Homo-oligomer: A and B are copies of this chain.
Amino acid sequence: MPNQKSNKLSVKSRFWIKGEKGTFLGEGRILLLEEIGTHGSISKAAKAMKMSYLKAWRLVDSMNSSVAEPLVIRTTGGIGGGGTLLTEKGKKAVELYRKLKDKSDLFLDEELSKLSIQFDS
């Protein structure tokens, strides 16, 4: 008879997408891109995440230099004095990560269920 305790196993995961130079995307970087998309500003995005501007800037710089097309660009001039934009490539990066995360969560849940049966027996 399977025991009650181990029937309630669940799985939590984290992953990082790496480029040639090291980490390209991870949960924190994606949250930053999403906040930049929302606020149109690295400074406001950093504040929303309680992250220093310098750290946010470095993460953006690291992501931008990992791929040929930048994920985040600065716009200058205009009424608001310019700002920061999430490019189409940036939006695609967020989408890629979120899709992979969803698929991974689903996969791990299913596989854990299957393996748990063997573990309990």
Chain A contact residues, CB within 8 Å of chain B: 3-6, 8-20, 24, 66-69, 89, 92-93, 96, 99-100, 103-104, 107-108, 111-112, 115-116, 118-119
Contact = CB atoms under 8 A, between A and B. Distances in A.
Nearest to A67: B6
Contacts of A24: 9
Contact of A119 (B10, B18, B93, B119): B93
A20 B14 CA distance: 20
How many identical subunits does the complex contain? 2
Contacts of A15: 11-14, 108
A68 B119 CA distance: 12
A31 B73 CA distance: 44
A68 B6 contact: yes
A75 B84 CA distance: 64
Given A3-B69, A111-B104, A119-B93, A19 B13 contact: no
B17 A67 contact: no
A69 B1 CA distance: 12
A19 B8 contact: yes
